[in-house]
Amino acid sequence: MTGREQAIGAALAAVLVIGVIDATAGHNGSSTSTPSGAPTGAPTMTPSPSTAPTATASAASPHPHRSVAVTASSSGLVVRHIPTSPASPSARSASPAPSSSSPAATRAGVLGTFRYATTGYETTNIPGTRRTYPSTTKIVNKLKGCGVQSTWKPVSEHVQKQLICPASGGSLKIRSYTTSISFYGVTSGEHFTCAGPSYVYRPNVAVGTVWRYRCKSADAVASQKAKVVGYQTINVGGTQVRTLHVHLDITVKGSSSGTSSQDYWIATSKPVLVKEAGTVAASQKNVRYTSTYSLALKSLSPRT
């Protein structure tokens, strides 16, 4: 999930459900679980109405992230030159147009809903918690703040969001990501903010290039190492798409701990998440969470 960038990517860091132990205790009759929608000490993933942007991209708007040109990854997106706040039509027209040679350049087809062929599941060491992901899932890219927010919701009890924003040289960086997971009616999650070279996409980057960065929550640190595997052409709905393939390893330490490994492919002509696959192994208290997944873009044309 880089689209979920992810990605991701976009990307999913190992986070586990706080309160599952109490919830399952209630399920077994020894205590009462918290009603669904009431996080137990963990931030929810849902942005508040006061901060959520109300502007929607027109058909001429490019991918999420950056100058109204963004792309989504299972955990996230990719964008370029996006205004820091929803701008009026006149303000947008006054902004200089990004170079068309840049894969992150503003162009139509980045914002909206992308559909992915999906495989995978998530589970904990508590009996009865395994959930299989549906054969098709969606990543929704919307303008927000400095770039584009990408949302992946494989099942109703699991929501991931990423905020990706433009950086120098046509690159894209992940600024934050949030995960919210529920089991037995107990919802918890964690919000990470990223700093340093938190790239999701870098134009014309050399094969073998490595960059490292950290993302922090209130009580955990996710150390991330990204490496460019190479460039690959992938068939998307009958169209041959050239992509940048990046491998990402994540280690989380703190109140929750674990590891996540992810590979994602982003189109170089239009920064959209084309493919992603990964695994997560995390633990908190004595609850262990694992998941594995794969996403394959069905069409380059999003639904708006």
Residue 169: other Cβ atoms inside 10 A: 11
Distance between CA 118 and CA 23 in Å, rounded?
29
Q: Measuring CA to CA, which residue among 74, 51, 70 is closest to residue 62?
A: 70
Place of tokens 């986070």: 15
pLDDT score at 68 = 29
Distance between CA 57 and CA 11 in Å, rounded?
24
Cβ-contact 71, 272 below 8 angstroms: yes
For 52-104, how does the pLDDT look when each residue is reduced to its tens digit (9 = 90+)?
A: 333 333 222 223 222 223 333 333 333 333 333 333 344 333 333 333 333 33
Residue ranges covered by each domain of the chain = 20-297
Return the exposure string of 127-145: e unless at least 16 CB atoms fall within 10 Å of the residue's CB, then b.
eebebebeeebbbbbbbbb
Helix, strand, coil shares of the chain as percentages rounded to 5?
5, 50, 45
Radius of gyration, CA atoms only, the chain: 18
pLDDT score at 255 = 82
Burial of 47 (0-12, 13-18, 19+ CB in 10 A): middle
Helix or strand run (H / E) with residue 245: strand 239-254
Distance between CA 5 and CA 177 in Å, rounded?
9
Cβ-contact 296, 116 below 8 angstroms: yes
For 246-280, how does the pLDDT look when each residue is reduced to its tens digit (9 = 90+)?
A: 999 999 999 878 999 999 999 998 889 999 999 99
pLDDT score at 58 = 29
Can you tell me whether residue 144 is helix, strand or coil? Answer: strand
Can you list the residues of the chain whose pLDDT is less than 50?
A: 1-108
